Amino acid sequence: MEFTITINNKKIKVSNNEKILDVLRRIGINIPTLCNVPGLSPTGACRLCVVELNDTNELVPSCSTPVRVGMNISTHSNKVINARRVIVNLLLSNHPDNCLYCDKRSYCELHQIAENLNITDRSFPGEPKKSKSDRSSPGILREMSKCILCGRCVRICEEMLGISAIDIVNRGKNIEIETIFKKGLFYSNCIHCGLCIKYCPTGAIIEKSYVQNLIDKLNNSEKEKVIVISNSTIADISNFYGIKKFTDCRNNIVGALKDIGFDKVFTLSPGNEIFIYENAVKILNHIKDKSNNTLIVTDCPAAKKYVKSELSELSPLLTSIPSPQQILAKFFKKSDDSNVFMTVVTPCVANKYEAVQSSNTTKGVPDIDIVISSNELLKLFNTYGIEFPYSRKQIPDNPSNSDTSAGPLFETKGGISETLIRELLYQNQKSYPKKLFEIKNDKNFIEFSFVLNNQQFKIASIHGISSLKEKVEDILSGKYLFVELRLCENACIDGCVQLRDDDPDKFKKIKKLILDYDETNNSDTASKNPFIKAYKNNNLKQK
C-alpha cells in the first residue's frame, strides 16, 4: 500500500512497510545513526536517529519506527537536535579522548557526528574509561575503552555470519563486548574475517598495524627485501588516484616501492596462477577418476576456517591447495635459513591470521615475515611522501613481469570460476571463449554450466556465509563439479582493509579496472605465463 506522509513540511510518497529512516535516506535527508546497520534488523538502541512527530511532539527512533498514515515528521527540529546533542555528550562522557593516537582518526563516525552537532566541550564530566584491549588476534585489535556499545559488531558476527565470536556480556555498568570466557578473539571461534573492523563506528575495533615494523626492517635488515602486492590493492590505489589503466598504476607502485628500498617487487599474480593451475590439474584428475564429489575451491582463509569449524561435513571437499600468498612464500623461501625478508600486501585481515598458522611457519617463524593491508601500504607511501601518478615506472620482477590477466581477474567476484574454467578448457583443448559467464553479475550465488570433453558440468560461485549455508545440501549431493567460495560478498577486491572510502560502489569501479585490463589482454589464462610452464616442467621432473 502506498500513501503520503509529511516530512519537514513536504509531502512524500511512502509504502507501508518502510521505516522512517529508509524514507529519509531515499529522499536524501541526512541524519546521524550509530547502532543501525543497513540490511540487519534495527535495534533502536542508540536513539541518535530520533525524529519528532509533530502531532504529539514525541521523539521516536526513525530506524525502527515504521511509517504510518498521516505522519507529520520533523527531522531537525530544535527538540531533535538537542536530544541528539545530549546522547552524543553522554557517549563522550567516559570516552578516553586519546583521539590523536587513534588509528580511526578522521574516519571515526563518533567524531564526525560530534563535530556535526557542534560539540566542543565535555559537558557531562565522567571518568574516562581505562584501556582494556584484546591483542590476541594477529589481524584485529579490540580496544574496549573506545567502545560505545552500539552493538554493530555483535550483530554482524551473529546475524550476518552466524558465528557469535563476540557478544554483549555482563550487565549494568559492567556491560561490555567480549569473547567466550573473555579469553580473546584468537581463542574463540572467530574466523578473522575482519567484518567487525569495517562496521565499528569508533576506534574500538581496528586492524593491527605492522607498517612501523616494516619501516624498521627496511632500514635495518641485511636480507633481500621482497614485497608481493595483491592485484586488489593495485586496483584500489589506481581508483583512489584516478589512474585509468591497471598496468600504469602497477608500474607506478613498483617504481615507488623500489625507491623506498625494496629489492624486488612482485604482484600476487604468479601465486594466483599456480593456484589456478594446481586446482585445474586436480579437477581434471577428479574427472578422470570419475569421482562424483563436489570440490570446494577457495583461497579465502576465513572461508576455510569457517568450513573446517562450522560445516565440518564439507571440509573433506576442500581442494586444499595453499593460498596464493603461501604458494609464493614457499617459492621465495626455498631454504630454512633463507636470506629473504618477505612482505605481502593484501586487502584481507584473514591473511594476517593465515600467516601465523603452524603449517605456514618454519621453526616457529612465519614464512611471510610481514603482512600489511592496502590501507597500510597507503600509509607507507604517505610516510615517504609518495603520491601517484609517481615519477618512476618499472615493471615488476620476474615472474611477475609476464603476468597474465587471469591473476587480477582471479581476485574479483566470480573470478575463481572464470579463471579456473578458462584454464580447464585451455589445458584440455587449448581454446576457450573470452567471457564465459556473467562475471558482471553481482549475485552472491551463480550457477553456470559448461562443456568439457563432450561432457556437461555444472559449477557454482558462492559468496558470503548465508549463501553457502543455503547450498550445503547441493554441495554434499555432488551436484557441482566444483564451487568457488569466498566469504566477502564482493570478493577480495572489496576486502575489509582496502583503502578507507565512503563510496559504497567503489568495488564496482575496481572491478571495471580489472575487467578492462582482461579484455585487452591476450595473455589471459594461468598457463600462458611462461613461468607456469617452467613450474609445470619442474614439477614433472620432481615427480
Partner 1 sequence: MEEFLNKLPTSVSKTELLRILQEFQDKYGYLDNDFIHELSKKIGIQPGKIFGIASFYSQFRFKPSGKYIVNLCSGVACHINSSENLINVFTKLTGLKDGETSADGKITLELVPCLGGCANSPVVKVNDKYYTKVTKADLLKIIQELK
To ligand FES, the closest distance from the beta carbon of 537 in angstroms equals 60
The binder of 168, among partner 1, ligand SF4, ligand FES, none, by C-beta within 5 to 8 A per type, is partner 1
To partner 1, the closest distance from the beta carbon of 311 in angstroms equals 13
The binder of 63, among partner 1, ligand SF4, ligand FES, none, by C-beta within 5 to 8 A per type, is ligand FES
C-alpha cell at 459: 559449477
Which of 22, 52, 134, 178 is close enough to bind partner 1 by CB under 8 A? 178
Q: Is 46 in the site for ligand FES (CB under 6 A)?
A: yes
Phi then psi for residue 346, to 5 deg, are: -140, 155
C-alpha cell at 2: 502506498
DSSP assignments along 107-155, one per residue: G-HHHHHHHHTT--S--S--PPPPP-EE--SSSEEEEGGG-----HHHH
Binding mask 54-93 for ligand FES (x = CB under 6 A): -------x-x------------------------------
Distance CA 477, CA 462 (A): 16
The binder of 293, among partner 1, ligand SF4, ligand FES, none, by C-beta within 5 to 8 A per type, is none
To ligand FES, the closest distance from the beta carbon of 77 in angstroms equals 17
Phi then psi for residue 227, to 5 deg, are: -130, 135
The binder of 149, among ligand FES, partner 1, ligand SF4, none, by C-beta within 5 to 8 A per type, is ligand SF4
Q: Is 31 in the site for ligand FES (CB under 6 A)?
A: no
Which is nearer to ligand SF4, 149 or 218 (by Cβ)? 149
The binder of 204, among ligand FES, ligand SF4, partner 1, none, by C-beta within 5 to 8 A per type, is ligand SF4
To ligand SF4, the closest distance from the beta carbon of 400 in angstroms equals 30
Helix and strand numbers, DSSP H then E, in the chain: 19, 20
Contact region for ligand FES (CB under 6 A) — 44-52, 98-106, 206-214, 465-473? Answer: 44-52
C-alpha cell at 247: 598496468
Identify residues 202-221 at the interface with partner 1 (CB under 8 A): none
The binder of 195, among ligand SF4, partner 1, ligand FES, none, by C-beta within 5 to 8 A per type, is ligand SF4
Distance CA 100, CA 98 (A): 6
To ligand SF4, the closest distance from the beta carbon of 179 in angstroms equals 8
Sheet with 58-61: list strands edge to edge. Answer: 10-15, 2-7, 72-74, 50-53, 58-61
Q: Work out the burial of residue 457: count CB atoms within 10 Å of its CB; fewer than 13 is exposed, 13-18 middle, 19 or more buried.
A: middle
Which residues contribute to the site for ligand SF4 (CB under 6 A)? 140, 147-153, 156-157, 161, 163, 165-166, 177, 185, 190-196, 199-202, 204-205
To partner 1, the closest distance from the beta carbon of 107 in angstroms equals 27
Which of 64, 75, 137, 179 is close enough to bind partner 1 by CB under 8 A? 179
C-alpha cell at 368: 611471510
Which is nearer to ligand FES, 63 or 349 (by Cβ)? 63
CB 460 within 8 A of CB 480: yes
To partner 1, the closest distance from the beta carbon of 201 in angstroms equals 21
DSSP assignments along 44-75, one per residue: --S-TTEEEETTTTEEEETTTPBP-TT-EEES
Instruction: Supply the angle between the helices 211-220 and 374-383 in degrees, to the nearest 10.
Output: 50
Q: Which residue has the cell 626492517?
A: 217
Q: Is 167 in the site for partner 1 (CB under 8 A)?
A: yes
Phi then psi for residue 356, to 5 deg, are: -100, 5
Distance CA 176, CA 360 (A): 34
Which of 5, 14, 36, 317 is close enough to bind ligand FES by CB under 6 A? 36
Where on the chain is the footprint of partner 1 (CB under 8 A)? Answer: 158, 162-171, 178-181, 188-189
Where on the chain is the footprint of ligand FES (CB under 6 A)? Answer: 33-36, 44-49, 61, 63
